[in-house]
Amino acid sequence: MKIAIGSDHVGIEFKPIIIDYLKELGHEVEDFGAYSSERTDYPIYGKKVAEEVVSGNFDCGILICGTGVGISIAANKVKGIRAVVCSEPYSAKLSKEHNNTNILAFGSRVIGPELAKMIVKEWLDAKFEGGRHENRVKMIGQIEK
């Protein structure tokens, strides 16, 4: 898969670990910043990665900030984005199967790298189930209109 990744300055040290892991799994990854630990603002990267995903340039996105909250809220303001912030793999898996999430976020101040990798793997491996969930996801889209 083609995966867009972004973080603010708080997620910057965590990001290369996730990039390496994604590459190990055989994915293509592009980093949309931040590129240094200089203080910056998470909405910039949430928006950028979200736009890359809705435009179809990337299959999905991964976002990291201190809690994963701010950057996922920013991403969710972009039409067509369903971003989930997760601290455990169960929600990550179900968010794909039931909600067809297209961005996964997590907090570098909340979880460690090994748990983050497990969450990423569950999320990437999961498939949207459609069926009874299809119309609910459509209903979310209608809220954006």
Q: Catalytic residue numbers?
A: 65, 98
Minimum separation from the CB atom of position 96 to ligand RB5 (A): 22
Minimum separation from the CB atom of position 135 to ligand RB5 (A): 31
Burial of 144 (0-12, 13-18, 19+ CB in 10 A): exposed
Q: Who contacts 20 (Cβ-Cβ below 8 Å, separation ≥6)?
A: none
Q: Where along the sequence are the contacts to ligand RB5 (CB under 6 A)?
A: 8, 10, 42, 65-67, 69-70
Task: In whole angstroms, give the CA distance from residue 33 to residue 19.
Answer: 12
Minimum separation from the CB atom of position 55 to ligand RB5 (A): 24
Q: Based on CB atoms, which residue is closest to ligand RB5, 69 or 137?
A: 69
Q: Who contacts 98 (Cβ-Cβ below 8 Å, separation ≥6)?
A: 128, 129, 133, 136
Q: Based on CB atoms, which residue is closest to ligand RB5, 106 or 123?
A: 106
Q: Based on CB atoms, which residue is closest to ligand RB5, 54 or 69?
A: 69
66: amino acid identity, one letter = G
Task: In whole angstroms, give the CA distance from residue 87 to residue 118.
Answer: 10
Q: Based on CB atoms, which residue is closest to ligand RB5, 27 or 33?
A: 33
Minimum separation from the CB atom of position 85 to ligand RB5 (A): 9
